[in-house]
Amino acid sequence: MYRDNYVNSLRTELVGMVADLLTPVALRYGYSDVPLEANIKWRPQVLVLGNYSSGKSTLINEFLGAHIQATGQAPTDDSFTIITCDDSAPAESTVRVTEERDGKFLLNDPEYPFETLKKHGQRFAAHFRLKKVNSPFLKNLALIDTPGMLDSITERDRGYNYQEVIGDLAQIVDLVLVIFDPHKAGTVREAYISIRETLQTRTSEDRVIFVLNRIDECTSLIDLLHVYGTLCWNLSQITGRKDIPLIRLTHSPQAAASYADAPEHDRGFLALLGNQREELKKAILQAPRYRLDHLATFVETHGERLSHLLEALIKYRKGVRMFRIKNSLTGLLVSMLCGGTAAFALLMSGVLAGMDQRLLLGSGGFFTLAMLVFWVTVIQKRLVSRFHRDCLRDFDTLTPLENQSRLDSWEAIRDLVRTYLQKTAGRFSLREVKQQHHVVRRVFDKGSREIREALNELAAISENGPVGIDDSMPAEEPLQTKKGVKPSPASKKIRILS
Ligand SMILES: Nc1nc2c(ncn2[C@@H]2O[C@H](COP(=O)(O)OP(=O)(O)O)[C@@H](O)[C@H]2O)c(=O)[nH]1
Ligand SMILES: [Mg+2]
C-alpha cells in the first residue's frame, strides 16, 4: 500500500514536471503537436503484438478470465482494442465487458493518451476501440490487443499505416509482448523486420517480452527445440544482437484441449513448462513498475532532445551575433576609408578650396556616416541573409555530433531546427532561448539523475513501509509545478526546479 502511494506520487510528480517544464518548449518549437504528457498520463499499458492466429486474443482472454476478445484460426479481429478496467462497475463474480467505446471517442477524449494517433485517419479510427472489463487482472494496467501482422500486400489494404500505428503505440505503452507461434517461427523475419526500428529506437529492449505460444502444437521435445532454435536465429536477426533475449514458452491448455493429438506425438515436455504461464503473467503484472522506468526514460529522452534543439538555436543566434559584430567593424573601417577618400577627393578637386578646415572634416564625417548607414541597412542585411542561407546549407555544422547519442538526438530534431530557422528567418530572442535551455537542461541533467535515485529508493521500499526513504532529508527546493502540488514523499527526492 505504502509502495503504491509512493509509486503514484512519483508518477504525479513526473507527469507534472513534464507538463510544466517540457511541454511549453515542445509545443513552442513544434517538437510535439499535443502536450508531451498526453502520452504518459494514463495507466500502465501492455501492447500485445504478433502474427495473426499466434494466440494473442486467447492469451488475453485467459488472463482476464472470460471470453472477451474474439478468437479463431482465420484473421477474425482486425481492430486495435484497448482493454481496461471499469472502476465504476460494481463488484460481481462474472467477468464481462461493462462498457464499449469507439475509436472517435477514444482519440478525442483527453482522459486517454491516444490523441497522437488521430493522425492515422478515419480508417484507423474505425479499427480502434475500447472495452471496459471488470477483471481483477486489469486493476493496475490496461492491455492492447492488436490485429495480426499480415503480408505486405494486405498491409496496404488496411487504409492506414499499420507499422506507424504500432510505433506510436510502442512509445505510449510500458511493456510490449511479442508473440510467436510454432507455425510461423521461421517466417517472422519479414513480418517483424519493419518494426525492428520502432522497437529498438523507441522503446528500450527490456520493455519487450518475447513469447513462443502454442507450444502444445510441437509434436515432441525435439520439435520444440527445433522451433525454438529457428526462432532464436530469427530474433537475433531482428534485434541485431548476438545475445538471444529470453523467450517465454507457453500455450493455452483450454485451446490445446480441442486440438486433436496424434498417437505418435509425445508432449511430455509440456508438464515441465507448466510454470511458464504463471511466470509470464507475473512479468506482465510488472507493467506499473516499468511505467516509472518508462517515465524516467521519457523525461531523459525528450529532455535531451529539446535541450539539443535549443542548443542548436543558441549556437545559430550566437553565430549571427558574432558575424554582425565582425561585419559592423568591417563596415566601420570601410566607411571611414570612404569618408577619408571622399574628403581627400573634395580637397584635391578644389571644391573646398579656401574653405574652413572644419568643413573639410565635417564632410569627411558626413560621408563616413552615410556609408556606415548604407553598410548597416543594405550590405550587412544582405550578408546576414547569406550567412543564414549558408547555415541552412551546412546545417549539420550547427552542432557538435561527437557520439552516437548526439547523432540520434540530432536526427530526431534536425528538421524541426531547420523549419524553425526558416519560419523565423533566424530572428528570435537569444535571451529567451537561453532561459528555456537552462530549464530543459536542468530537467535533463539534474532531474533525470534524481528520478533514477528515487527509483532506486523505491526498489528498497517494502509493500507496507518506508525502508529506504530518508525522511530526515531536508526538503529543499521541492518540485514546484504551476499547480502548486504539495510535496509528496517522492518529491523529497525529486526537487528539481523552482
Ligand atoms: N493448440 C493451441 N491452439 C491455440 C493456442 N492459443 C490459441 N489457439 C488457437 O489459435 C487460434 C487463433 O487464436 P487467436 O487468439 O484468435 O489468435 P490471434 O489472431 O493472435 O488473436 C484459435 O483458434 C485458438 O483456439 C494454444 O496455445 N494452443
Ligand atoms: Mg486476435
pLDDT tens readout for residues 140-169: 899 999 987 765 555 567 788 887 888 888
* C-alpha–C-alpha distance, residues 250 and 335, integer Å: 83
Distance 441 CA to ligand 2 centre (A): 44
Q: Which of 48, 51, 53 to mutate to test the pocket of ligand 1 (most atoms within 8 A of CB)?
A: 53
Q: Which residue has the cell 501492447?
A: 47
> Which atom of ligand 1 lies closest to the CA of 148?
19
* pLDDT tens digits, one per residue of 67-126: 999 998 776 678 999 999 987 777 777 888 999 999 999 999 888 989 889 999 999 999
Q: How confident is the model at residue 200 (pLDDT cuts 50, 70, 90)?
A: low
Indicate if the pLDDT at residue 431 is higher than 70. yes
* C-alpha–C-alpha distance, residues 264 and 140, integer Å: 44
The grid cell for 491 is 518529491
Alpha-carbon 299 to chain mean position: 9
The reply to whether the predicted model has a pTM over 0.85 is: no
> Atom 12 (ligand 1): residue with closest C-alpha?
53
Q: Are strands 175-180 and 208-212 parallel, antiparallel or unpaired?
A: parallel
Distance 57 CA to ligand 1 centre (A): 7
- The closest alpha carbon to 168, from 63, 308, 280, 33, belongs to 33
> Atom 18 (ligand 1): residue with closest C-alpha?
53
Q: Which has the higher per-residue pLDDT, 328 or 289?
A: 328
Q: Are 495 and 450 in contact (CB under 8 A)?
A: yes
Q: Which has the higher per-residue pLDDT, 53 or 306?
A: 306
Nearest ligand, CA of residue 59? 1
Q: What is the pLDDT of residue 246?
A: 85
Please state, for a pLDDT cut of 70, what percent of the chain lies above it: 83
Query: What's the mean pLDDT when you consider all of the chain?
Result: 82
Q: What is the pLDDT of residue 188?
A: 54
* C-alpha–C-alpha distance, residues 47 and 285, integer Å: 13
Q: What is the pLDDT of residue 262?
A: 63
* C-alpha–C-alpha distance, residues 172 and 113, integer Å: 8
DSSP for 267-324 reads: -THHHHTTTHHHHHHHHHHTHHHHHHHHHHHHHHHHHHHHHHHHHHHHHHHHHHHHHH
Q: What is the pLDDT of residue 496?
A: 46
End-to-end CA distance of the chain: 30
* C-alpha–C-alpha distance, residues 168 and 116, integer Å: 8
> Atom 13 (ligand 1): residue with closest C-alpha?
55
Q: Which has the higher per-residue pLDDT, 35 or 259?
A: 35
Binding-site residues, ligand 1, Cβ < 6 A: 50, 52-58, 71-73, 148, 213-214, 216-217, 251-252, 255-256, 259
Q: What is the pLDDT of residue 481?
A: 42
Q: Are strands 97-102 and 80-85 parallel, antiparallel or unpaired?
A: unpaired
Residues 6+ apart with CB under 8 A from 11: 291, 292, 295
Q: Which has the higher per-residue pLDDT, 408 or 154?
A: 408
> Atom 2 (ligand 1): residue with closest C-alpha?
256
> Which atom of ligand 1 lies closest to the CA of 61?
15
Q: What is the pLDDT of residue 66?
A: 92
